[in-house]
């Protein structure tokens, strides 16, 4: 029986178990349900959980263990000559066996012992699946029967079901947490491998970035140099330019939207502004590369400046536009959250509208606004597509916005695209860069959330 079908059957069994539980609960207290500790529904759920969950756990464990067991058995069954082979070779053979058994493409004419092994593989899998089905179909009703016998007037079925639901919810939230932990750990370990090849201090404080390494000893090529400071400075420069655009524009538009705009105008304009956030960044990227960058170049040349055709300015400006909705939307929310009583208090003292906003509303909303801006900063630092297309790849250590610069994210992309060896310093450098990026944005986010939360405590 295929696994998905087995799950379906288990679900069906649980529904039946539910009915049994309900009727059993009604039977133990005929005509006077009030004496039951829990309502019959909870007894039904209690039995259903007993029916479904243990069988499901058995199935999941089986599916997790089966490949390991099968591999052990199949490889053990090969002639002794194979035992002496190196591990990499054995892995190749195992792949062959599996592909043969599953009907995938294999190398031409496999050896007879390989074919025999594939046959064993197939047989073991068939037996395993059958055993699993039988096991589940026995375990589920048995567990349900155990639970039904427990149904009594005093059974605290409601509390048990509530506890089971709590466990389920905890498990769901753990999925997200473990994913994060997994990502961090993989970044960390790959970075450690990189730092074994390149000293941490050279990476963090080196001024020259040129990640090309020679593949062979006789190859003409640089030995690679991994000073990431030009990347950090480029990232900083572009983020700075984008924040210079996004913060004033976003904040002003938020103030206009929340304090001055007519309700009807706001109803139209706010979603329009938020559309900016929905535009794919790759679209922003070619807008920056094909429209804004040439414009800036021409404008610069008209003024007698030399402008690189891929400039930090173009990427930063367009990224700033992209981030406007982050700043304006969050600022708008926190400005609206400032109690009307604050404004009334200022108006009643004879403050004008702009005085009220400048001296009372914005200061009251400031922590929230700062939080929004910090979230926008971490978005700017992590943004990739626009800078890949508009800012260029040359790692110049420059703070001139008219120069081409590159960022951490752009370098990660270029280091990992194309065919790469996964143990060269060049590739591993991407993980180290990723780790730095992660630490910076995590720090900013934590700080921003802390600021926002502090603000919330003040008014609720």
Given the rule CB under 8 A, which residues bind other proteins?
263, 339, 341-352, 355, 359-360, 363-364, 458
Helix (H, G, I), strand (E, B) or coil at 406: coil
CB closer to other proteins out of 355 and 423: 355
Q: How far is the CB of 340 from other proteins (least distance, A)?
A: 8
Q: How far is the CB of 273 from other proteins (least distance, A)?
A: 22
Q: How far is the CB of 456 from other proteins (least distance, A)?
A: 13
User: By CB neighbour count within 10 A (0-12 exposed, 13-18 middle, 19+ buried), where does 247 fall?
Assistant: buried
CB closer to other proteins out of 196 and 349: 349
Interatomic CA distance for residues 119 and 396, integer angstroms: 60
CB closer to other proteins out of 364 and 435: 364
Non-local CB neighbours of 191 within 8 Å, separated by 6+ positions: 428, 431, 432, 434, 435
In 3D, which of 142, 90, 139 has the Cα closest to residue 117? 90
Q: Where are the beta strands (DSSP E) in 87-127?
A: none
**Measured at the alpha carbon of residue 321, what is the angle toward residues 246 and 256, in degrees to the nearest 5?**
60
CB closer to other proteins out of 82 and 347: 347
CB closer to other proteins out of 45 and 346: 346
Q: How far is the CB of 358 from other proteins (least distance, A)?
A: 10
Q: How far is the CB of 363 from other proteins (least distance, A)?
A: 7
Residue 350 is given by DSSP the state: T
The CA distances from residue 459 to 269, 299, 355, 410, 451, in Å, are: 28, 49, 22, 42, 14
CB closer to other proteins out of 171 and 341: 341
Q: How far is the CB of 342 from other proteins (least distance, A)?
A: 6
Q: How far is the CB of 344 from other proteins (least distance, A)?
A: 6
Q: How far is the CB of 450 from other proteins (least distance, A)?
A: 18
User: By CB neighbour count within 10 A (0-12 exposed, 13-18 middle, 19+ buried), where does 347 fall?
Assistant: middle
Helix (H, G, I), strand (E, B) or coil at 209: strand
CB closer to other proteins out of 140 and 360: 360
DSSP structure string for 11-49: HHHHHHHHHHHHHHHHHHSTT-GGGSSS-HHHHHHHHHH
Interatomic CA distance for residues 257 and 432, integer angstroms: 42
Q: How far is the CB of 455 from other proteins (least distance, A)?
A: 10
Identify how many contiguous H helices and E strands the chain contains and give both numbers. 17, 2
Phi-psi sector, 394: left (phi>0), alpha (psi -120 to 50), beta: beta
CB closer to other proteins out of 28 and 342: 342
Interatomic CA distance for residues 9 and 260, integer angstroms: 61
CB closer to other proteins out of 216 and 262: 262
């Amino acid at each position: 029986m295929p696994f998905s079908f087995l799950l379906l059957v288990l679900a069906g069994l649980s529904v039946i178990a539910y009915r049994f539980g309900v009727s059993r609960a009604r039977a133990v207290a005929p005509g006077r349900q009030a004496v039951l500790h829990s309502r019959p529904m909870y007894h039904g759920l209690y039995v259903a959980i007993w029916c479904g969950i243990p069988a499901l756990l058995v199935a999941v464990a089986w599916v997790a263990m089966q490949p390991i067991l099968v591999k052990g058995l199949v490889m053990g069954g090969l002639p002794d000559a194979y035992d002496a082979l190196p591990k990499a070779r054995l892995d190749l053979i195992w792949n062959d066996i599996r592909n043969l058994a599953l009907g995938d493409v294999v190398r031409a004419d496999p050896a007879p012992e390989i074919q025999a092994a594939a046959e064993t593989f197939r047989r073991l899998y068939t037996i395993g699946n059958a055993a699993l089905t039988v096991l589940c179909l026995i375990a589920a009703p048995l567990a349900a029967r155990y639970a039904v016998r427990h149904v009594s007037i005093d059974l605290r079925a409601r509390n048990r079901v509530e506890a089971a639901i709590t466990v389920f919810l905890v498990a769901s939230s753990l999925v997200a947490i473990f994913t994060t932990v997994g990502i961090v750990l993989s970044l960390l370990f790959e970075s450690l491998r990189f730092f074994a090849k390149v000293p941490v201090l050279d990476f963090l404080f080196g001024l020259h970035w040129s990640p090309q390494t020679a593949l062979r000893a006789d190859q003409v090529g640089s030995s690679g140099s991994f000073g990431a400071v030009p990347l950090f400075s480029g990232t900083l420069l572009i983020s700075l330019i984008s924040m210079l655009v996004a913060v004033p524009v976003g904040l002003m538009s938020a103030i206009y939207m929340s304090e001055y705009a007519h309700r009807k105008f706001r109803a139209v304009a706010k979603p329009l502004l938020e559309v900016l956030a929905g535009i794919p960044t790759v679209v922003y990227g070619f807008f920056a590369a094909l429209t804004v960058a040439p414009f800036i170049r021409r404008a610069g040349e008209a003024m007698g400046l030399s402008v690189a055709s891929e400039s930090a300015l173009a990427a930063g400006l367009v990224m700033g536009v992209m981030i406007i909705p982050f700043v304006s939307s969050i600022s708008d929310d926190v400005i609206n959250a400032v109690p009307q009583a604050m404004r009334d208090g200022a108006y009643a003292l004879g403050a004008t509208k702009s005085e009220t906003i400048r001296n009372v509303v914005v200061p009251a909303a400031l922590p929230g606004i700062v939080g929004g801006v910090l979230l926008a900063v971490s978005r700017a630092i992590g943004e990739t597509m626009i800078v890949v297309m508009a800012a260029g790849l040359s790692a110049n250590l420059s703070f001139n916005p008219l120069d081409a610069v590159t960022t951490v994210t752009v370098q990660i992309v270029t280091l990992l695209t194309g065919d790469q060896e996964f143990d060269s310093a060049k590739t591993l450098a991407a993980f180290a860069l990723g780790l730095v990026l992660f630490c910076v944005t995590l720090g900013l986010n934590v700080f921003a959330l802390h600021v926002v939360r502090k603000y919330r405590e003040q008014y609720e």
